[in-house]
Chains A and B, each alone.
Chain A
Amino acid sequence: MPSGTQARKYRLQGAGLDLALPYLMLAPGLMIVLGVLVYPLWDGLRASAKAYRYGSPIADVGLQNYMHLWSDAQFLNSLWVTVKFVALSVSFEAVLGFALALFCLHEFRGIRLLRTVLIIPMVVTPVVVAIVFRLIYASDAGMLTALSEAMGGGAVQILGNPLNAFIGLVVLDVWEWTPLMFLILLAGLQSLPHEPFEAARVDGAGAWRVFADLTFPMMRPVLAVAIVLRTIDAFGTFDQVFVLTRGGPGEATRLISIYGYDTAFKFQQTGYAAALFVTIGLVVLALAFSAIRLLRRVDAS
């Protein structure tokens, strides 16, 4: 920022009551955030160092809850399911979203309709998205079963089978969030400079060369931002699983958020669940900040 603007801003602040103005304007928002977000964060940190029985703290246990996590087979399994879920969903969304964005880059009739319709999956209430997919997967009332029976087949089993249920969950997430990837990447593509592409066309470069040498390298920062955003978001996925499978069958779709929720509200192990959530929070923050640092380095070079 040029120093002239800076100086002007200082002058703008003026004297007297105006000096207190920025603090007065920040205060209400900060008070709400401190009371309802920061205090609970701190409280969660405290709870994570305690053992609970029937919802009441009974003993200080220091870091034991955190250590116990790493020998808890159910926690490790939910972590593994979450990592698989996030990696698979976000990869498919990135590839499909990119393909769709490239497809829509050329103006043609019907593109407005396509863009409008693609808004729907990501604005529909996640709980309803899960209901929609239950209605598709259900072995008695499902669309897949109805289609299969219309073609002379039998009932289709999705949610009763561990592998199918997991794939079904990934399909749900891809259906819901590919449009977001698409929108971000399309905006990225539209903001690329024209000159390199015209030069490449004059040189007679083929479509694949243009993509590999120009489009993809230039799109890498946008792609990275989109993937980081989706990854952070996908880590916290809860609603869809809660309604679709409740984590089952067995532990096949039990994401870490579901396991944490059950630990807290079903098994009443408040302190242990708090430690679990603090750990998730730290993992996501670490992920986010290393991604930001990486992006900055890409920007600088």
Chain B
Amino acid sequence: MSTRLARILTTIFVLAVVLLPIYWLVSTSLKSNREITQEGTLYPHVPTLDNYVRLFTEKQFGSYLTNSLVVTFFSVAIALAVGAMGAYAIARFRLPFAAERKVGLFLLTLRIIPPVVILIPVYLLMLSLGLLDSWLGLIATYTAFNVTFCVWMMESFFREIPVDLEEAAMVDGDSRFGAFRRITLPLAAPGLAATAIFAVLVTFNEFLFALALTATPRAMTMPRGTATLIGRIDTDWASMSAAGVIGALPIVFFALLVQRHLVRGLTMGAVK
């Protein structure tokens, strides 16, 4: 009986620690700035959606959201297509000098290096190409990061698919690439989905490169746009919390929807 009580109490405690901060964000977003700073209420006494409306009418969150969706969609889609092919080549072919394994190791090494390390040269590159503050600049950057991840993750999925099926298709007259496209790729669909989900998550949430590479609502993404609300002297808590809710809501909803596939990506394959 006492272990049961301990379990219930621990569960409640953990739930509270995780959810209370989220509750405070949502609750603040429903208050007026006066209620937030002067009355310090524990819940919104006069709930209002004004903060949300203001984000879209005065603060261009419509553009931020559009930019985020466009950039995330294209960088993940391209990386997935290109990465799946690369991963297949590494998983299935034995090249001279074990080249395929060296390429795999090389991509993994690139993944270990913290992105901040290449922030300056990427900025200089986009500057010289005239791609600062544009969708294309962000898409190119995110695609490259996603490719290293997609290759590395898809490779393990392809290895789990038996070669015999492709052989059978080729005996039936399929080309090698045809066998990949018609047999292996559909079989790897769950892996492809898991990879895409994780890539979407990381790309949608990315801030550092968005901070350096964008400057106006033309290309600013959600996290980048949200950061513009942080003033030096006066903080507009109401807008900031509403922006936090809008920025987090789609991604949390999406993540909970697909949580089963998420764990593998989040743990970088440490868990299968």
Q: Which residues of B contact A5 (CB under 8 A)?
A: 163
Cβ 8 A contact of A120, one of B7, B94, B116, B252: B252
Contact B259 A116 (CB under 8 A): yes
Is B53 part of the contact surface with A, judged by Cβ < 8 Å?
Answer: no
Cβ 8 A contact of A118, one of B18, B83, B143: B18
The closest CB in chain B to the CB of A264 belongs to B120
Task: Please measure, in the bound complex, the distance between the C-alpha atom of A128 and the C-alpha atom of B119, giving whole angstroms.
Answer: 22
Cβ 8 A contact of B170, one of A12, A114, A273: A12
Listed residue (A114, A127, A280) with the most chain B CB atoms within 10 angstroms of its CB = A127
Q: Which residues of A contact B92 (CB under 8 A)?
A: 9, 12, 22
Contact A149/B113 with A9-B163, A29-B147, A128-B226 known, Cβ cut-off 8 Å? no
Cβ 8 A contact of B167, one of A12, A114, A121, A264: A12
Q: Which residues of B contact A238 (CB under 8 A)?
A: 116, 207-208
Q: Which of B55-63, B187-195, B237-245 contacts A (4 or more CB under 8 A)?
A: B237-245
Within 65-85 of B, Cβ neighbours of A (below 8 Å) are at 78, 82-83, 85
Contact B270 A124 (CB under 8 A): no
Listed residue (B40, B94, B170, B262) with the most chain A CB atoms within 10 angstroms of its CB = B40
CB of A3, distance to nearest CB on chain B (Å): 12
Is A30 part of the contact surface with B, judged by Cβ < 8 Å?
Answer: yes
Is B118 part of the contact surface with A, judged by Cβ < 8 Å?
Answer: yes
Is B230 part of the contact surface with A, judged by Cβ < 8 Å?
Answer: yes
Is B110 part of the contact surface with A, judged by Cβ < 8 Å?
Answer: yes
Describe B's contact surface by its main secondary structure. helix
Cβ 8 A contact of A239, one of B17, B83, B112, B208: B208
Is B19 part of the contact surface with A, judged by Cβ < 8 Å?
Answer: yes
Contact A36/B143 with A21-B176, A132-B22 known, Cβ cut-off 8 Å? yes
Contact A149/B14 with A37-B118, A257-B114, A274-B120 known, Cβ cut-off 8 Å? no
Task: Please measure, in the bound complex, the distance between the C-alpha atom of A114 and the C-alpha atom of B17, giving whole angstroms.
Answer: 11
Q: Which residues of A contact B151 (CB under 8 A)?
A: 29
Cβ 8 A contact of B114, one of A36, A143, A146, A284: A284
Number of interface residues of B (CB under 8 A): 99
Contact A22 B93 (CB under 8 A): yes
8 interchain residue pairs of minimum CB distance: A236-B114, A40-B121, A36-B144, A29-B86, A187-B271, A22-B93, A123-B255, A281-B117
Q: Sample 16 A-B pairs with CB under 8 A, ordered by A number.
A: A36-B141, A43-B125, A103-B7, A123-B255, A125-B205, A135-B21, A135-B25, A183-B263, A184-B270, A187-B272, A229-B267, A239-B223, A242-B207, A242-B211, A257-B114, A278-B117
Interface set of B (CB-CB < 8 Å, partner A)? 7-8, 10-11, 14-15, 17-22, 24-25, 28, 36-37, 40-42, 78, 82-83, 85-86, 88-90, 92-95, 100, 103, 107, 109-110, 112-125, 140-141, 143-145, 147-148, 151, 163, 166-167, 170, 175-177, 201, 204-205, 207-208, 211-212, 222-223, 226-227, 230, 235, 237, 240-241, 243-244, 247-248, 251-252, 255-256, 259, 262-263, 266-268, 270-272
Interface set of A (CB-CB < 8 Å, partner B)? 5-6, 8-10, 12-14, 17-18, 21-23, 25-26, 28-30, 32-33, 35-41, 43-44, 47, 100, 103, 108, 110-111, 113-114, 116-128, 131-136, 138, 140-141, 143, 145-147, 149-150, 175, 179-180, 183-184, 187-188, 222, 225-226, 229, 232, 235-236, 238-239, 242-243, 257, 260-261, 264-265, 270, 273-274, 277-278, 280-281, 284-285, 288
